[in-house]
Structure 1
Amino acid sequence: MRLYALTALAFSLSSLCAAPVRAEGDGRFVQPASVQESEAAQHLVQARALIASGHHLEGIAEQTRAIEINPLDAIAHRERAKAWHMKQRFELAIADYNRALQLAPRDPDSFFGRAISLHASGNPAAAIEDYSRAAMLRPDWSDPYRMRGHALIAQGQYVRAIAEFKRGLDQDPKDIANLIGLGYARLYMGELPVAADNFIRALRLSDDVRAMLFLYIVRARQGVDGKVELTRYADRVRRKTWPYPVLSLYLGTAEPDAVLAQARTEVEQCEAHYYMGQWLAAKGQRAEALASMTQALKRCPKTNIEYEAAAAAARGGI
Structure 2
Amino acid sequence: MSRLVPFDNISGSHNKALECRPDDYRSWYLRGNSLRMLGRYTEAIASYDKAIERFSDDYRAWYQRGNALDNLGRFCEAIASYNKALQLRPNDYWAWYQKGQAYRSLGQYREAIASYDAAIKSCANDFWAWYRRGDALRELGDDQEAIASYDRAIQSRPTDYWSWYWRGYSLQRLGKYRAALGSYNTAIRYKPDDYWAWYRRGDAMRYLGWDRDAIASYDKALDIDPKAASAWYGKACCYARLGRVNRGMESLEEAIALAPNRYQELAKTNPDFERLRQDERFQEFYNY
Same fold (TM over 0.5): yes
**Is 1:128 aligned to residue 103 of structure 2?**
no
Q: Which residue is 1:192 aligned to? A: 177
Q: Which has the higher contact order (CA 8 A, sep 6+)?
A: 1
Tell me how far apart the structure 1 counterparts of residues 78 and 52 of structure 2 sit (CA, whole Å). Answer: 14
Cα offset for 1:72?
A: 3.0
Q: Alignment partner for residue 210 of structure 1, among 193, 196, 221?
A: 196
* Local SS of the residue matching 1:149: helix
Richer in helix (by share): 2
**Is 1:250 aligned to residue 250 of structure 2?**
no
Tell me how far apart the structure 2 counterparts of residues 89 and 245 of structure 1 sit (CA, whole Å). Answer: 37
CA separation of 1:60 and 1:208: change in aligned 2, threshold 3 A: farther
Aligned Cα root-mean-square deviation (Å):
3.4
**After superposition, what is the alpha-carbon deviation per residue over 1:120-156, rounded to whole angstroms, capped at 9, x for unaligned?**
3232222222111211211221221122222223343
Indicate the structure (1 or 2) with the bigger Cα radius of gyration: 2
Q: Which residue is 1:57 aligned to? A: 42
Please show how residues 155-194 of structure 1 align to structure 2 within 5 Å: 155-194=140-179
**After superposition, what is the alpha-carbon deviation per residue over 1:224-271, rounded to whole angstroms, capped at 9, x for unaligned?**
253432333554x5xxxxxx46536624596677679xxxxxxxxxxx
- Structure 2 contact 169–200 (Cα < 8 Å) conserved: yes
Instruction: Kindly tell me the number of residue pairs found equivalent between the two proteins.
Output: 229
Q: Which residue is 2:245 aligned to? A: none
Q: Which residue is 2:92 aligned to? A: 107
**Is 1:41 aligned to residue 25 of structure 2?**
no
Structure 2, gaps ≥5 residues long = 1-11, 14-22, 233-250, 271-288
Tell me how far apart the structure 2 counterparts of residues 231 and 45 of structure 1 sit (CA, whole Å). Answer: 47
CA separation of 1:169 and 1:281: change in aligned 2, threshold 3 A: farther
Scaled by the length of structure 1, the TM-score of the pair is 0.61
Q: Which residue is 1:229 aligned to? A: 217
Cα offset for 1:191?
A: 0.5
Q: Which residue is 2:137 aligned to? A: 152
Scaled by the length of structure 2, the TM-score of the pair is 0.66
CA separation of 1:35 and 1:60: change in aligned 2, threshold 3 A: closer
Tell me how far apart the structure 2 counterparts of residues 105 and 57 of structure 1 sit (CA, whole Å). Answer: 27
- Counting aligned pairs with the same residue, the percent is 23
Of 163-172 and 151-160, more deviation after overlay is shown by: 151-160
Structure 1, gaps ≥5 residues long = 1-17, 20-33, 238-243, 261-275, 287-318
Give 2:216's aligned amino acid: V
